[in-house]
Amino acid sequence: MKNIKLLPLLILSVVILSSCSDNENLLTEIEQKSSLKTYKVKRDVSGAYSLDYELERDVKSQKVKNLDTSVNEFHLYPSDFANSQRQSEELFIDGNRLNIGFIDTRTNNKANITIKDDAALSIKTAAKNAKMLSSYSVTRNEDGTFTLDFEVNNQVAVNFVYAEEAGVYEVHLKEGESNETVFSRNLEKIASEALKIDFVNHLGSSSSKNTGAKASTRRKPRIIISNTSGPDKV
């Protein structure tokens, strides 16, 4: 009789333990889910930078300018009072560098974006042959891949090269015949490595043959995307 009386208690205990385990697994899954769905960093024809990004539901962002590191930090955290999932921010070059950091408080992951470029005023007043790139954007897609879109001025030839030793995707721009001005490339990022993109401007490449001047290259803008903690989920 004692065994019969204990059986319902044993069944109830198993049900409670199973329910707790399911709740813990659900909580862990929620905690591990990235708060950031996608983002796009872009530079327009004037040289001005902006950031568009999309958050998961019930996630809020707060922008903080870190005065010590000059990083535009976007802190992402769960909230029942989240506003729009799509956000946009105007960004400004500090010196010749733009730093962006997404800090996901739910997963403890951080995505870092560093761009080395001239300020908008410098781009507007730059020599004509130093501005072959009109505009560009880098998008981080939901599947973890990246898309590079850019537009060049007329009579600019484009060549894509992957410098394997340095691990850099190079976009070479030089004066020359070309029927295209708009380009797009899909790029994959290895979780443990930084994604590096360099626009390599070849200056004086056409006139140097006639004048005897030495051709030079200028690597700007330069984009570096990396993660400082955890897997590449942000």
pLDDT in tens, 64-93: 999 999 999 999 999 887 667 899 999 999
| pLDDT value of position 192 | 85
What is the 8-class DSSP label of residue 214? Answer: P
Q: How far apart are CA 70 and CA 99, in angstroms?
A: 7
Cβ atoms of residues 111 and 144 within 8 Å: no
Residue 204 has pLDDT above 80, yes or no: no
Other beta carbons within 10 angstroms of residue 108's beta carbon come to 12
Q: How far apart are CA 161 and CA 143, in angstroms?
A: 24
Residue 214 has pLDDT above 90, yes or no: no
Residue for token pair 């070059």 = 93
Give the confidence band of 21 by pLDDT, cuts at 50, 70, 90: very low
Residue 33 has pLDDT above 70, yes or no: yes
The average confidence (pLDDT) of the chain is 83
Q: What is the pLDDT of residues 126-184, one digit of tens each?
A: 554 457 999 999 999 999 999 999 999 999 999 999 999 999 999 999 999 889 999 99
Cβ atoms of residues 75 and 60 within 8 Å: no
Q: What is the pLDDT of residues 85-118, one digit of tens each?
A: 899 999 999 889 999 999 999 999 999 999 999 9
Determine which helix (DSSP H) or strand (DSSP E) holds 87, and give its type and residue range. Answer: strand 86-91
Q: What is the pLDDT of residues 39-65, one digit of tens each?
A: 999 999 999 999 999 999 889 999 999
Q: Looking at 3-12, 57-66, 184-193, 217-226, which range is the least confident one?
A: 3-12
Domain ranges of the chain: 33-229
Cβ atoms of residues 101 and 127 within 8 Å: no
Residue 22 has pLDDT above 70, yes or no: no
| pLDDT value of position 225 | 98
Residue predicted with more confidence, 1 or 141: 141
| pLDDT value of position 6 | 53
Q: How far apart are CA 82 and CA 180, in angstroms?
A: 42
In this prediction the pTM is: 0.80
| pLDDT value of position 154 | 93
Give the confidence band of 23 by pLDDT, cuts at 50, 70, 90: very low
Determine which helix (DSSP H) or strand (DSSP E) holds 196, and give its type and residue range. Answer: strand 195-203
Give the confidence band of 205 by pLDDT, cuts at 50, 70, 90: low
Q: How far apart are CA 19 and CA 17, in angstroms?
A: 5
In whole angstroms, how large is the CA radius of gyration of the chain? Answer: 25
| pLDDT value of position 29 | 45
